[in-house]
Amino acid sequence: MAKITAGIATSHVPAIGAALDNGKSGEPYWAPLFEGYRFSKHWIADHKPDVVLLVYNDHASAFSLDIVPTFAIGCAESYPPADEGWGPRPVPVVEGHPELAAYIAHSVIQQDCDLTIINRMAVDHGLTVPLSLLFGQPTAWPVRVIPVAVNVVLYPPPSGRRCYEFGKAIRRAVESFDTDLDVQVWGTGGMSHQLQGPRAGLVNKAWDNLFLDRVVEDPDNLSRVPHIEYLREAGSEGIELVMWLIMRGALNDKVRLVHRFYHVPASNTAVGHLILENSV
Amino acid sequence: MALDKSYSDIPGTTIFDADQARKGYHLNQFCVSLMKPANRARFKTDERVYLDGWPMSEDQRQAVLARDYNRMIALGGNIYFLAKIFSSDGKSFQYAAALMTGTTQEAYVQMMLEGGRSPDSNRSAKEKK
């Protein structure tokens, strides 16, 4: 049977990808950030899953305003990196796992979590920056990836509660899949940041760190935090953090925290990162 | 019954909700078009002509020509869509953020290095007073 063994949370700031792609990761501005992922790269080498369910949001790359799905899952064989306005990132094509993805889609819809199915899509920095942070710059990504795209661009995004319940449904789906697979769920985006208007640059270290505590220890109550609190405390783009609750919902109630990292700034954003193992 | 838009009182912030998305549809779709290199080239050759090909308002066109991002946001633009404009200009999110906050990029970068903009007195209009 397939099994969810661990969860990873990480920000997916585009400038991190640009720093890596342009050979700037050793510069004084970026070095402390990449240092926070040094442990993670070793950890993932020892805990390489077969499949990553990568929860992220598209940033007006695959989804224009023509169609805005709240939750969508990629069932394609592969996904090319998107051209976001400056040419595609020089990263490998992302190989999917269509069989497991289709199985999850079928299962979670029958568990009352409605999903949009995607059979062709380019993936932007939201999906590729987390892969770069964990796997560096390989010629091919060492895992298969199932993209789970969540709308956090057009307000309102799904509630934290809905995301948490969706995570639980994903877990039930994965763990009834009849093939031995080691599966990780990654939740990406955040932490506090605002990219628009005169309030751009907002960072709330206290709120972010409380979020990091609660997503590990108290996710059930955290999932009930209303959107307005994210907007006021963590900035208009900080609302991305609801996606971490999908990852958390897919794990055990009790998890083992193996790595925690927090850093300000990456461009406009506070960066948060967790590795959580499903304790047996 | 009126929708709950309690986020309207957050200072210096426009939440891109379904109403804004409706107003900004053509503006944002123009931005999407810039993801294709051929369209970027056409836009750069004559911005005015390229913009006239999109059924957006004259206010929206003027805001694009002036690269007035706050104005574009007020007129229904969303920052992730508008990012295609400044990316086509070879500019970063940090450049655009500095512009929207009315400061220099140097001062903005320094603010971020010092921990970013504090949420204190920035949560709501009431708190700002």
B77, part of any domain: yes
Is pTM beyond 0.95? Reply is yes
Check whether residue B27 and residue B60 sit in a common domain: yes
Is residue A115 within 8 A of residue A89, CB to CB? The reply is no
User: Cis omega before residue A265 (within 30°)?
Assistant: yes
Is residue A239 within 8 A of residue A209, CB to CB? The reply is no
**Does residue A141 register a pLDDT over 70?**
yes
B3, part of any domain: no
Dihedral over alpha carbons A254, A38, A96, B82 (to 10 degrees): 100
- Chain A residue with minimal CA distance to B98? A200
pLDDT digits (tens, 9 = 90+) for B42-90: 999 999 999 999 999 999 999 999 999 999 999 999 999 999 999 999 9
- CB distance from B88 to chain A under 8 Å? yes
User: Could you tell me how many CB contacts below 8 A there are between chain A and chain B?
Assistant: 158
CATH code (residue B80):
1.10.700.10
pLDDT band at A172 (very low <50, low <70, confident <90, very high): very high
Neighbour-count burial of A140, counting CB atoms closer than 10 A to its CB (0-12 exposed, 13-18 middle, 19+ buried): exposed
Say how far apart CA A236 and CA B83 lie, in whole Å. Answer: 16
In which domain, by residue range, is A34 found? 2-278
Check whether residue B83 and residue B106 sit in a common domain: no
Check whether residue B99 and residue B111 sit in a common domain: yes
Check whether residue B114 and residue B74 sit in a common domain: no
Say how far apart CA A56 and CA A207 lie, in whole Å. Answer: 21
Identity of the residue in B15, B24, B84 whose CB atom sits nearest the CB atom of A85? B84
Angle at B94 between CA B90 and CA B97, to 5 degrees: 110
Check whether residue B113 and residue B67 sit in a common domain: no
Distance of CA B38 to the CA centre of its chain: 23
B8, part of any domain: no
- What ipTM was assigned to the predicted interfaces of this complex? 0.95
Cβ neighbours of B32 in A, within 8 Å: 60, 64-65
Instruction: Over range A255-264, report the average pLDDT.
Output: 98
Check whether residue B72 and residue B58 sit in a common domain: yes
Q: Could you give phi then psi for residue A185, rounded to 5 degrees?
A: -115, 125
B82, part of any domain: yes
Handedness of CA A169, A260, A81, A60 (dihedral sign): positive
CATH code (residue A9):
3.40.830.10
**Does residue B129 register a pLDDT over 80?**
no
Say how far apart CA B77 and CA B71 lie, in whole Å. Answer: 8
B10, part of any domain: no
B45, part of any domain: yes
A 25-64 → B contacts, CB under 8 A: 59-61, 64
Is residue A151 within 8 A of residue B21, CB to CB? The reply is no
In which domain, by residue range, is B39 found? 17-90
How many structural domains does chain B have?
2
What are the structure tokens assigned to B61, written together? Answer: 């066109």
How many structural domains does chain A have?
1
Check whether residue B99 and residue B84 sit in a common domain: no
